[in-house]
Amino acid sequence: MFFIIYNVIAFGLQPFFGYFADQKNLYFVYILLGLLLPLVALQMISLGVIAIILATLGNAMYHVGGGVLSINLYPNKAAPAGFFVAPGALGVLAGTVLANGYSSPVLYISLIVIVTLLALFFIFKSHINNHTYQPIPKNFIKIIYLILIVVLIRGLIGTMLILTWKSEIWLLLALTLGVFAGKFFGGWLGDLFGYKLIGIGGLVISFPLLILGHQMPLFGILGAFFFNLTMAITLFIIIQNLGKYKGTAFGLTTLSLLIAYLPSAFGLKFEFGIFYEIFIFISVVLGAYLLNLALDSHRENIKGV
Amino acid sequence: MYPIYDVAVGPILIVLGIIVIIITAVVIFLVVLSIKMIRKIKKEREECAA
């Protein structure tokens, strides 16, 4: 239950946090608050829901602020979007493992947060670039909704995926590394070889691997890698098409992920079988088709400019 | 004589159902607000272009 509340606040409120940050240029303040609030929450763990709410607000702020500032470091490149988001996959696993461990990690995590906070404040501050952006294109509504549906489909596949072996901690770690690598390198590879090849190609290749990965870890891990190559590309495309509203763009994708997460959170799950395979197949084909439409529209805009 | 969980399951399901409805309603509300926000951005863009 707490986990659902966490996701609703952290993911659901990001579009509005993003919009506010876009209007007032609060990205760096968001980064600092995004670290400070979880730090305070950590000291108040015994208060339960209050600590969770503080941590989630910090999560939402950090995601928006850090995301936009990362992308601003290298404008017109998809790579930074992946570099920024990917470590979150490792963080979620580390958080789960630490929270279920025998010793309390509060002190160590607090120290890491304080060091990060100081480093960002004193070092990163001088590297912040101007908030440059492309004008919003005429067809931006079409591109945004296409990308959000792709993110939704990808989120649905991710939450419905059946991998029988992931209760084994080392295999779960390998799977998480696969997810991390896919998110991390997706944007970079897209910048090098084209967004269509990497984004759509990654989705299509992931289908047989994810099906085979039901019982075979190697295929599952490879499937997770290829499946996640799309993430940085969709994030980059939506950001490129919302002008100065980069934080809003970040937030809209997380709202999509929240919608995708709800069915599984409410207990709706597939049994492995033909219906599951058909679901994954249709989702991948639809996702690839819609991403193709979005990328075509985006390319028309670039040519137009 | 019914097992004890048969007695307890009903209220738990009702509470869970209410929670599911509330969370769904909150998310729908957030989606509607987001759509309004996108429309606002669209309007702003049209005003700038005009």
| E strand spans, A8-109 | none
**Is B26 in Cβ contact with A4 (below 8 Å)?**
no
Please say whether the beta carbons of A243 and A18 come within 8 A: no
Interface mutation target, options B18, B29, B30, chain A, most CBs of A under 10 Å = B30
Question: CA A150, A151, A154, A160 torsion: positive or negative?
Answer: negative
Amino acid occupying residue A37: L
Tokens of A42: 């950590």
- pLDDT at residue A80, rounded to an integer: 94
The Cα A227–Cα B49 span in angstroms is: 38
- pLDDT at residue B46, rounded to an integer: 86
Q: Of B28, B16, B39, nearest to A258 (Cα)?
A: B28
Q: Helix crossing, A246-265 with B4-49: angle to 10°?
A: 160
Q: Which of A19, A245, A255 sits opposite B30 (nearest CB)?
A: A255
Q: Of B23, B21, B36, nearest to A259 (Cα)?
A: B23
Interface mutation target, options A239, A244, A252, chain B, most CBs of B under 10 Å = A252
**Is A136 in Cβ contact with B41 (below 8 Å)?**
yes
**Is A242 in Cβ contact with B41 (below 8 Å)?**
yes
Q: Give the lowest-confidence range in A42-51, A175-184, A258-267, B24-33.
A: A42-51
- pLDDT at residue B2, rounded to an integer: 57
Amino acid occupying residue A23: Q
Q: Of A1, A8, A99, nearest to A45 (Cα)?
A: A99
Amino acid occupying residue A26: L
pLDDT digits (tens, 9 = 90+) for A62-118: 999 999 999 988 888 999 999 999 999 998 888 888 877 766 778 888 888 899 888
Q: Which residues contact A93 (CB under 8 A, 6 or more apart)?
A: A172, A173, A176
In the block, residue with structure tokens 């080392």:
A170
Question: CA A46, A47, A49, A55 torsion: positive or negative?
Answer: negative
Q: Is the pLDDT of residue A123 over 90?
A: no
- pLDDT at residue B11, rounded to an integer: 81
- pLDDT at residue B7, rounded to an integer: 60
Interface mutation target, options B12, B15, B37, B39, chain A, most CBs of A under 10 Å = B37
Residues of A in contact with B24 (CB under 8 A): 262
**To the nearest 5 percent, what fractions of chain B are helix, strand and coil?**
90, 0, 10
Amino acid occupying residue B49: A
Which chain A residue lies closest to B34 (C-alpha atoms)? A15
Q: Is the pLDDT of residue B1 over 60?
A: no
Q: pLDDT category, A305, cuts 50, 70, 90?
A: low
DSSP per residue, A211-279: HHTTT-HHHHHHHHHHHHHHHHHHHHHHHHTSTT-HHHHHHHHHHHHHHHHHHHHTT--PPSSHHHHHH
The domain A140-304 is placed in CATH, from the list 1.10.240.10, 1.20.1250.20, 3.40.50.300, 3.40.50.1000, at: 1.20.1250.20
**Is A16 in Cβ contact with B41 (below 8 Å)?**
no
In the block, residue with structure tokens 């996959």:
A89
Q: What is the mean pLDDT of residues A257-275?
A: 90
Q: Which of A1, A15, A242 sits opposite B34 (nearest CB)?
A: A15
In the block, residue with structure tokens 């025998």:
A102
Q: Of A219, A214, A234, nearest to A274 (Cα)?
A: A214
Domain ranges for chain A, please list them: 2-127, 140-304
Amino acid occupying residue B4: I
Q: What is the CA radius of gyration of chain B?
A: 22
pLDDT digits (tens, 9 = 90+) for A140-168: 999 999 999 999 999 999 999 999 998 89
Residues of A in contact with B27 (CB under 8 A): 8, 12, 258-259, 262
**Is B26 in Cβ contact with A8 (below 8 Å)?**
yes
**Is A12 in Cβ contact with B26 (below 8 Å)?**
yes
Query: How far out from the chain centre does Cα A141 lie?
Result: 21
Domain ranges for chain B, please list them: 13-50
Reported pTM:
0.90
**Is B27 in Cβ contact with A258 (below 8 Å)?**
yes
